[in-house]
Structure 1
Amino acid sequence: MMRSIVGIATLVLAVIGILLATPAAQAQTVDVDPTPDRATISLNGASTVTIAWGVTRSATAPGTVNAPPAQLSVGGFNAGTSGATLSRVFPTAGTQSTTFVETFVIPRELAFRAARSGAPILVSRTFTDIAFGSNDTGVVALFPGGPGSEPFSIRRLDLTFDDRSRVRVLSKGSRLRAIAEINTTGSGLIVGQWEVASATTTAGTPVFRPLALVRQNVAGGRRVFITSPPLPTRFEGTNLVRLNITDPATGFDEPELQYYVTPESPLPDRQQPRLLLMTSPSPGTPLTLTTRFAWQAVPGAKAYKLEFFPAVPGPAPPAPQDEIVASLPLDPSPDPQPDPPGGRAAGPLTGIVLPGAVTETRLKDFTLAHLPAQRRYRWIVTAIGEDGAILGASAMQEIYKP
């Protein structure tokens, strides 16, 4: 009996020894520590990122650690792979460390995608011990930074015609385009459409119809110029054009441009324009939304044009180097416009066209917004005849916007 008890105790101790020894024999580990674990990349072009993958292997026998190409992802979605397979032989048992250094090139398109989604680009490497199957994954987060990394939005939208004017009078069948100048923050896609309201609808509530779709990528919070297709000039009278942006949402009313189309005819016999008499505003009246411009009617006038010019003409500032221009080019030969009586050295800052039956007006918000405050401006009203001839013009006058 005593021998049986001793035998059983010996067997139990042997089993316990085996159970205690097995985890130790199987305690094979691989630990991955990337340096750096986060970095900032640019939105202005492709970015180069160097990563050092520190790998530590603990095992009871020699072995090899492998890692397939790195996985790239944004917001949980796979964005491809990069790099080659990494491999290192560990010739002895025990704990050993090594470092893999590699350089990744992150394309600008992937940085845009991360900026739009608000999620970083994740670069991950999984290292596996071939002999024992243990593995670990290192992850590096890349964050888009600098200009364009903020949320995408439109801060300002300005419209002019292809000669940089804000109001046009032209004959039927003439060529005309509009240009949208857009100031943005962040990176994203502008979605919208050019729309026109023909003269057949502008006598009442204008009815806009689509003219062309717009899809323009923007990166880094830049100034963007988008040119319209040729505008229809077959409808005589006052026509309207605008760029209706549907994405991203804007917090302002989109401006509209007016162009007045006269009948197509040979060049008329020019006559000396008559003086157009203004009845309002009186000298010293400030320029506000309530300022009333009124004048005496000119016989035969089919339209009146009110324009504002700089008080002190000067050269236009040079175009910045960070502009983006849409692929559609400007018309290389836009229709010229004669200077109105009174002369001017610089083009108008803004203006409006009114039907010939209207002899008074007040400026709307988006028109007045083109004229910065605390400055003086020159202004003039011109009467346009049926054939596009200038029938009369007021004296060039000055007004102050407080």
Structure 2
Amino acid sequence: MKRLFVIIAHLLVLTLSGTLVANAQVSVSPQVSGVNVDGTSIVTLRWRVGVTSATQGKVQVQSSAGVLGMGGVAGGNLSTSVLHPGPAVGTVFVTLVERLRVSRTTAKRISQSGTTTYTRSFSGGSGPAVSARATLRATTGGELTFRNIELRFEDASRFQVIDSGQDLTAQLALTTSGRGVLRGSWEVAGPVSRRGAGFRPIGRLQQFIAGPRSSTFVSPPLPSNAPGVYSVRFVPDQAPQRDVLEPAIVLRYTVVSKRNAVENSIGLFAPKPGESLTRTTQFRWQTIQGTRTYRLEFFDFKTGRTPPAPVAAILSEDNHVQLRDFTFERITSSGELYWRVVSLDSEGKELTSSSVRELK
């Protein structure tokens, strides 16, 4: 009699709720994952969820976020759908794969206690949510992690102007920890003047790395046969973590058909000579007819180099720019800082430039 009552109650739940996640059949693999305390880690988790439905149809299984046992929310929304045949089949299983990013700061907090839990609650349809839990353990090794990623040219600059057909390569500088194979693609966009348009692969990188170290890798030859503005980037298969300086892994260079001297005829409006540079400083200059893109360039004269060392460059289709934080940090770490503006046509050819002006 009791058994009959349990069966009837179970069927009643199915009828009322429509669909539910099977409580006894939610699991995560691996149950224990290492988190590198020396850098940002990516932990791959596979959540296996059993779904029971009282009716035939599509069931949406989702979890809005994960919760760390030491406090705080991590991970984003996980969601997938499954076509359930109905009650005659019973439980249908789905697997949701998560690549959980654990920042270096979070890893340090985990190391204080040695371990913490990571819990997700899954729901399906109108059924009750059920939870599964993984353990994150602090380690000094583990998967390959990135502490810094920097892309630069051979002279350590972030931009170049080269003649058509001239050789040019980029360098990828990494600080890593852990063990693993670095895999990724070198990609180039151009010749265009619009940032980020039309990236295409020009080569692959695959290299085994073990232990804390700094490494430098050289790109394949960059295209330079057609005049224009190009962008080059390196995209790791591991996907760069957001707390790594992501904007620093995109470079730009301009290919010109003929390096004629350009007349210094662009008037500079702001900032004034010797004016102090702040995060709110607006750079403004004269509009030049026929210009597709302006290139705002910064130079460091204190290095003793001739010509002076290029520090950074910004492309803009407008005649005004306000610096982003990562550019501000880079140029303010230089010595005697100067700036100028160069106007480019639709093919990346230099039309004219401004004089060089000092920044305080």
User: TM-score, normalised on structure 2?
Assistant: 0.51
Please give the alpha-carbon distance, in whole angstroms, between the structure 2 residues aligned to 1:245 and 1:284.
40
Q: Check the 8 A contact 1:171/1:388 in 2, yes or no.
A: no
* Larger fraction in strand: 2
Secondary structure of 1:233's aligned partner: coil
Q: Does 1:382 align with 2:360?
A: no
Residue 148 of structure 2 corresponds to residue 188 of structure 1:
no
C-alpha offsets along residues 324-357 of structure 1, whole Å, 9 cap, x if unaligned? Answer: xxxxxxxxxxxxxxxxxxxx56412222344xx5
The alpha carbon displacement at 1:215 in A equals 1.2
Checking the alignment, whether the CA contact within 8 Å between 1:171 and 1:387 is kept in structure 2 is: no
Q: Which of 205, 214, 218 is 1:223 aligned to?
A: 214
Q: Are 1:367 and 2:300 counterparts?
A: no
Tell me which moved more, 220-229 or 168-177. 168-177
* Equivalent position to 1:244, from 232, 235, 238: 235
Indicate whether 1:168 and 2:160 are aligned: yes
Of the candidates 260, 265, 273, which is equivalent to residue 254 of structure 2?
260
Deviation per residue, 1:292-347 (Å, 9 max, x gap): 211113456565332223363258xxxxxxxxxxxxxxxxxxxxxxxxxxxx5641
Unaligned runs of 5+ in 2: 1-138
Between structure 1 and structure 2, the one with the greater Rg is 1
Secondary structure at 1:247 match in 2:
coil
Shift of 1:249: 4.5
Aligned-residue offset at 1:199: 2.8
Q: Can you give the 5+ residue segments of structure 1 that lack an aligned partner in the other structure?
A: 1-144, 316-343
* 1:265-290 deviation line (CA, Å, top 9, x unaligned): 5x64x46x3243211224534332x4
Give the alignment partner of residue 309 of structure 2, picking from 334, 347, 369. 347
CA distance 1:358–1:237, change in 2 (3 Å): farther
- 1:307-318 matches, within 5 Å, as 307-310=297-300, 312-313=302-303
C-alpha displacement at 1:361, in angstroms?
1.9
Kindly, what percent of the aligned residue pairs are identical? 27
The answer to whether structure 1 residue 199 and structure 2 residue 191 are counterparts is yes
- Give, as a single letter, the amino acid of the residue that structure 2 aligns with 1:256: V
RMSD between superposed Cα atoms in Å: 3.4
How far did 1:244 drift? 0.8
Change beyond 3 A, Cα 1:155–1:376: farther
In the alignment, what sits opposite 1:280? 270
Between the aligned partners of 1:228 and 1:152, the Cα distance in structure 2 is 21
**1:241–1:256 Cα contact (<8 Å) kept:** yes
Cα distance per residue 1:195-225 (max 9 Å; x no partner): 111234x537623222211112223322211
What is the CA-CA distance between 1:398 and the residue it aligns to?
A: 1.4
**Aligned partners of 1:226, 1:235: CA distance in 2, in Å?**
25
Q: Which runs of 4+ in 1 moved over 6 A?
A: none
Q: Distance in 2 between matches of 1:198 and 1:191?
A: 24
- Say whether the 8 Å CA contact 1:193–1:243 is kept in structure 2: yes
Q: Which amino acid aligns with 2:339?
A: W
CA distance in 1: counterparts of 2:195 and 2:344, whole angstroms: 21
- 2:171 aligned partner, one-letter code: I
Cα distance in 2 between the residues matched to 1:370 and 1:204: 20
Report if aligned partners of 1:194, 1:213 keep a CA contact under 8 Å in 2: yes
Pairwise CA distance, 1:247: 2.2
How far apart, in 1, do the equivalents of 2:343 and 2:240 lie? 39
Aligned to 2:115: none
> Post-superposition shift, 1:156?
1.2
Q: Deviations over 1:44-72 (max 9, x none)?
A: xxxxxxxxxxxxxxxxxxxxxxxxxxxxx
- Residues 238 and 363 from structure 1, CA distance in 2 versus in 1: closer, same or farther, beyond 3 angstroms? farther
Q: Does the CA-based 8 Å contact 2:189-2:196 persist in structure 1?
A: no
Q: Is the 8 A contact 2:227 2:348 kept in 1?
A: no
Q: 1:388 to 1:207 in 2, by over 3 A?
A: closer
Contact 2:175–2:212 (CA<8 Å) still a contact in 1?
yes
